[in-house]
């Protein structure tokens, strides 16, 4: 079913024009490109890309941002309409959990930003008793733990309402590309995590994505910005985080498809990106969004919040 056709005229026109860098407010431009896709595919919806949608790399902080993005109302409505099919995955998060456990000893508390159906929180059950979630809506299949909380809202909301009891670990997998206001998001994260606590972020890497056909990562309806090691490092410094590690990785979605299928997709994409897009469109799949084919085009970033009370190195 095509939900896009059920949108009212007002909803269809709920697009925002972005005229300065959403992170640093600079209007300086290092480079720019047109977004090649004509349609966004989101859940079951097919939404025309507004004419004139471009990609700009900020000349000041190097963040890449889209110049026309859907407003929060439009995004929320389509998310609610398609939640059953959105962001469900059987990915086990083993690599992420191992990283976290190597940095944090003993029992800890965790909040997952954009928890969707709670797949990551479920995987964390053996290690974290207090397991909480923040999301724009409470997915029907999500359960937070008995002593956890569910925070309804956008991470970049300027007035986030929550328990005010901070966490040892804050995770944000595939969230940072959705931000409208990265400054408010970082401000909120800095409050959500305890001094000395960890923030684990996974998001697209602009420096890897730009080498591919059509900036496919940005042809997603809900992807507004794209970070890089440089822009992340700047944000970490601005908000009082120390960088523990920044590494490239495959998108987690790619790791859940059968290996042979994944390899075939990557091969097809490497042979002919255009042909790959064409075949996907013919098959009725996300024509504009191949599943991160062939590239470690994501970043896994681990940050630690500075702890001013701890002058001596930990034992
Ligand atoms: Zn900037």
What does CATH list as the number for 94-305?
3.40.50.150
Confidence at residue 288, expressed as pLDDT on a 0 to 100 scale: 42
Q: How far is the CA of 182 from the centre of ligand 1 (A)?
A: 10
In percent, the amount of the chain with pLDDT more than 90 equals: 55
Residue 59 has pLDDT above 70, yes or no: yes
Q: How far is the CA of 216 from the centre of ligand 1 (A)?
A: 21
Q: How far is the CA of 17 from the centre of ligand 1 (A)?
A: 16
Average pLDDT over residues 259-280: 71
pTM above the 0.95 mark?
Answer: no
Q: How far is the CA of 12 from the centre of ligand 1 (A)?
A: 28
Confidence at residue 170, expressed as pLDDT on a 0 to 100 scale: 98
Residue 279 has pLDDT above 80, yes or no: no
| 160-216 confidence digits (pLDDT tens) | 999 999 999 999 999 999 999 999 999 999 999 999 999 999 999 998 888 766 687
What are the residue boundaries of the structural domains of the chain, listed by start? 3-85, 94-305
Q: How far is the CA of 30 from the centre of ligand 1 (A)?
A: 10
Q: How far is the CA of 174 from the centre of ligand 1 (A)?
A: 20
Q: How far is the CA of 302 from the centre of ligand 1 (A)?
A: 21
Average pLDDT over residues 213-225: 85
Q: How far is the CA of 183 from the centre of ligand 1 (A)?
A: 11
Q: How far is the CA of 197 from the centre of ligand 1 (A)?
A: 27
Confidence at residue 183, expressed as pLDDT on a 0 to 100 scale: 97
Q: How far is the CA of 180 from the centre of ligand 1 (A)?
A: 13
Confidence at residue 47, expressed as pLDDT on a 0 to 100 scale: 87
| 96-153 confidence digits (pLDDT tens) | 999 999 999 888 999 999 998 899 999 999 999 999 999 988 988 898 998 999 999 9
Q: Grade residue 12 by pLDDT with cuts at 50, 70 and 90.
A: low
Confidence at residue 289, expressed as pLDDT on a 0 to 100 scale: 45
Burial (Cβ within 10 Å: 0-12, 13-18, ≥19) of residue 94: exposed
Q: How far is the CA of 236 from the centre of ligand 1 (A)?
A: 14
Q: How far is the CA of 22 from the centre of ligand 1 (A)?
A: 7
Q: How far is the CA of 238 from the centre of ligand 1 (A)?
A: 13
Q: Grade residue 5 by pLDDT with cuts at 50, 70 and 90.
A: very low
Which of 51-55, 106-110, 276-280 has the least mean pLDDT? 276-280
Instruction: Name which residue leads in pLDDT, 254 or 194.
Output: 194
Confidence at residue 4, expressed as pLDDT on a 0 to 100 scale: 44
Confidence at residue 190, expressed as pLDDT on a 0 to 100 scale: 97
Confidence at residue 205, expressed as pLDDT on a 0 to 100 scale: 93
Q: How far is the CA of 185 from the centre of ligand 1 (A)?
A: 15
Instruction: Name which residue leads in pLDDT, 245 or 11.
Output: 245
Q: How far is the CA of 177 from the centre of ligand 1 (A)?
A: 14
Q: How far is the CA of 46 from the centre of ligand 1 (A)?
A: 30
Average pLDDT over residues 5-9: 54
Q: How far is the CA of 222 from the centre of ligand 1 (A)?
A: 20
């Amino acid at each position: 079913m095509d939900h896009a056709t059920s949108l009212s005229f007002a909803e269809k026109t709920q697009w925002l024009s972005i005229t300065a860098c959403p992170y640093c407010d600079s209007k300086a431009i290092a480079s720019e490109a047109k977004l090649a896709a004509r349609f966004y595919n989101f859940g079951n919806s097919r939404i025309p890309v507004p004419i004139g949608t471009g990609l700009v790399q900020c000349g000041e902080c190097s963040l890449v941002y889209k110049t026309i993005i859907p407003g929060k109302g439009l995004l929320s409505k389509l998310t609610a309409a398609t939640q059953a099919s959105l962001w469900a995955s059987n990915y086990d998060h083993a690599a992420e959990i191992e990283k976290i456990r190597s940095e944090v000893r003993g029992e800890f508390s965790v909040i997952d930003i954009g928890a969707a159906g709670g797949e990551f929180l479920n995987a964390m059950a053996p290690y974290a008793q207090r397991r909480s979630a923040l999301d724009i809506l409470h997915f029907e299949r999500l359960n937070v733990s008995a002593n956890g909380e569910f925070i309804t809202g956008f991470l970049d909301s300027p007035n986030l309402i929550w328990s005010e009891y901070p966490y040892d670990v804050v995770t944000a997998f595939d969230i940072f590309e959705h931000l409208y206001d990265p400054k408010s998001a970082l401000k909120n994260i800095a409050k959500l995590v305890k001094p000395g606590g960890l923030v684990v972020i996974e998001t697209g890497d602009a420096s890897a994505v730009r080498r591919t056909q059509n900036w496919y990562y940005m042809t997603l309806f809900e992807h507004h910005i794209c970070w890089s090691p440089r822009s992340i490092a700047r944000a970490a410094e601005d908000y009082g985080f120390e960088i523990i590690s920044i590494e490239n990785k495959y998108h987690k979605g790619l790791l859940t498809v059968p290996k042979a299928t994944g390899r075939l997709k990557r091969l097809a994409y490497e042979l002919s990106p255009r042909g790959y897009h064409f075949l996907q469109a013919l098959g009725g799949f996300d024509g504009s969004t191949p599943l991160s084919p062939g590239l470690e085009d994501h970043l896994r970033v681990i940050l630690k919040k500075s702890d001013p009370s701890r002058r001596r190195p930990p034992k």
